Amino acid sequence: TEACLAEIDAAGALNAFCAKTPEIALAQAKAADARLKAGDAPAMCGIPLGIKDLFCTKGVASQAASRILEGFKPEYESTVTQNLWDAGAVMLGKLSMDEFAMGSSNETACYGPVVSPWKVDDRQLTPGGSSGGSAAAVAADLCLAATGTDTGGSIRQPAAFTGIVGIKPTYGRVSRWGVVAFASSLDQAGPMTKSVRDAAIMLGTMASNDAKDSTCADIPVPDFEAALTGDIRGKKIGIPREYRMEGMPAEIEKLWSDGAAMLRDAGAEIVEISLPHTKYALPAYYVIAPAEASSNLARYDGVRYGHRATLSAGEGIVDMYEKTRAEGFGPEVQRRIMIGTYVLSAGFYDAYYNRARRVRALIKQDFDQAFAAGIDSILTPATPSSAFGLGEMKDADPVEMYLNDVFTVTVNLAGLPGISVPVGLDAKGLPMGLQLIGRPWEEGDLLNQALVLE
């Protein structure tokens, strides 16, 4: 813990941590020492972690990287972080992210961008997003692992950009209680780690049945680490032809076929499959996610949490709402609220929101049919390219940034588990990741297959 705290101080230029909690960390580390000595030590005992700013941590600023939550210190602890502390893990501090987890580059954080520890000729790169602080901190060895959340790729894309492992579990595997909501039907928390084994151990600790989240499934949490046998003989792994996008860099194509070869060499059968509704996933996601966000973010009214605008004489409560929200939300969050409000409005609800929901059902059905035909998992690239430069996308059309999520959003729409594993480096020397998509509730099997790619 002390070594990590020193590393965090030395790596301030990365801007990964938005709050440090050394007193809490040292007290937890001491308690963990005592548990270790007493011989009562689960695997996470004494492990120093970083926590994404989206998780509510009792008495510690939890701001979702937004000005609107300035000064908000929750009265309660999220279920996921409580599970980690109960297992003896140590909190080093809070990690930056895109504001309200909306973004793919960590550039929308109110704390300023996070810098990836990876570089090309001194050019600064994005660690990806929205869990960019988590990815940078793990990749730069500032902590042993970190929590992330994933609504459309926010664990898997930054993991791929920084050469670490990230898994989004099945929807309902992990409690969302105390995790600031972005799009409630898509959000899941998961671990971001240095290895597949660490991910298995940490996911097992984060997951629990939780009556405080009605969508958290009441099913047992298996021992994911025990599933890591490395034996994948006889597994049937699908390569979806619709993910072969036009203009895909040759390096990503090669990575994908190298990954398939690694799995085949380990005894898996590789088969081409079709997921015909894939091309509608990104538009459906960018209707559903903003719709849910616009509803979830209605609670930030300047009364109950964080920032409140200063009013001039004669201004009333409506002015207060408007001014507070205009000052508190950044441009990307405002854009999402406007899109969401539009697609939910009386005249457009059927044309946009309801249609997107029907498309979502078809996307899920594609996966269901593949699994029913005996496919155990599906191999795809995690991202359409390796990490891009900081500032590079800033002035581009926002849709350019949304295209980064093309391989990841299907998994959230279908509620499936997906893992990103670092598999190689591109010609610039930057990490690239592959994604394996698993059957619902089969994270153990998925992690075991990912072990072969690692």
- Shortest spacing between CB 162 and ligand GLN, in angstroms: 15
DSSP string, 310-334: PPPTT--HHHHHHHHHHHHS-HHHH
Contact residue for ligand GLN among 405, 442, 443, 445 (CB under 6 A)? 405
Query: Which CB, 153 or 418, lies closer to ligand GLN?
Result: 153
- In the numeric block, the tokens 């008495």 are attached to 59
CA of 251: how far to CAs of 303, 346, 409, 424, in Å?
51, 46, 22, 10
Q: How many Å apart are CA 297 and CA 284, to the nearest integer?
A: 20
Nearest to 236 by CA among 373, 380, 435: 373
**Strand 188-193 relative to strand 165-168: parallel, antiparallel, unpaired?**
antiparallel
Burial (CB count within 10 angstroms: exposed 0-12, middle 13-18, buried 19+), residue 244: middle
Position 32 contacts ligand GLN (CB under 6 A): no
- Shortest spacing between CB 152 and ligand GLN, in angstroms: 3
Which position among 78, 130, 294, 386 bears the catalytic label?
130
Contact residue for ligand GLN among 150, 292, 442, 443 (CB under 6 A)? 150
The residue count of the chain comes to 454
Contact residue for ligand GLN among 62, 63, 83, 154 (CB under 6 A)? 154
Burial (CB count within 10 angstroms: exposed 0-12, middle 13-18, buried 19+), residue 216: buried
Position 66 contacts ligand GLN (CB under 6 A): no
- Shortest spacing between CB 182 and ligand GLN, in angstroms: 6
Query: Which CB, 21 or 154, lies closer to ligand GLN?
Result: 154
- Amino acid at site 303: V
- Shortest spacing between CB 412 and ligand GLN, in angstroms: 7
Binding mask 181-200 for ligand GLN (x = CB under 6 A): -x------------------
Q: How many Å apart are CA 52 and CA 114, to the nearest integer?
A: 13
Count of residues that interact with ligand GLN, criterion CB under 6 A: 13
Q: Which stretch binds ligand GLN (CB under 6 A): 65-73, 102-110, 301-309, 351-359?
A: 102-110
Q: Which stretch binds ligand GLN (CB under 6 A): 135-143, 150-158, 246-254, 369-377?
A: 150-158
154 is catalytic: yes
- Shortest spacing between CB 129 and ligand GLN, in angstroms: 6
Nearest to 52 by CA among 158, 124, 126: 158
**Strand 165-168 relative to strand 90-95: parallel, antiparallel, unpaired?**
unpaired
Nearest residue by C-beta to ligand GLN? 154
Contact residue for ligand GLN among 46, 103, 306, 440 (CB under 6 A)? 103
Angle among Cα 59, 202, 24 to the nearest 5 degrees reads 25
Query: Which CB, 1 or 157, lies closer to ligand GLN?
Result: 157
DSSP string, 233-251: TT-EEEEEGGGS-TT--HH
Q: How many Å apart are CA 450 and CA 165, to the nearest integer?
A: 9
Q: Where is 377: in which H helix or E strand?
A: strand 377-381
Q: How many Å apart are CA 181 and CA 119, to the nearest integer?
A: 33
Which position among 104, 105, 154, 175 bears the catalytic label?
154
* Two tokens, residue 270: 């590789």
Query: Which CB, 115 or 288, lies closer to ligand GLN?
Result: 288
Binding mask 283-322 for ligand GLN (x = CB under 6 A): ------x---------------------------------
Q: Where is 36: in which H helix or E strand?
A: helix 22-37
- Shortest spacing between CB 409 and ligand GLN, in angstroms: 7
Query: Which CB, 87 or 414, lies closer to ligand GLN?
Result: 414
Query: Which CB, 47 or 414, lies closer to ligand GLN?
Result: 414
Query: Which CB, 201 or 416, lies closer to ligand GLN?
Result: 416
SS3 category, 443: helix
- Shortest spacing between CB 410 and ligand GLN, in angstroms: 12
52 is catalytic: yes
Position 330 contacts ligand GLN (CB under 6 A): no
130 is catalytic: yes
Contact residue for ligand GLN among 102, 379, 387, 453 (CB under 6 A)? 102
Q: Which stretch binds ligand GLN (CB under 6 A): 78-86, 147-155, 225-233, 443-451?
A: 147-155
Position 153 contacts ligand GLN (CB under 6 A): yes
Q: Where is 48: in which H helix or E strand?
A: strand 48-52
Interface with ligand GLN by CB under 6 A: which residues?
Answer: 101-104, 130, 150-154, 182, 289, 405
The residues annotated with a catalytic role in the active site are 52, 130, 154
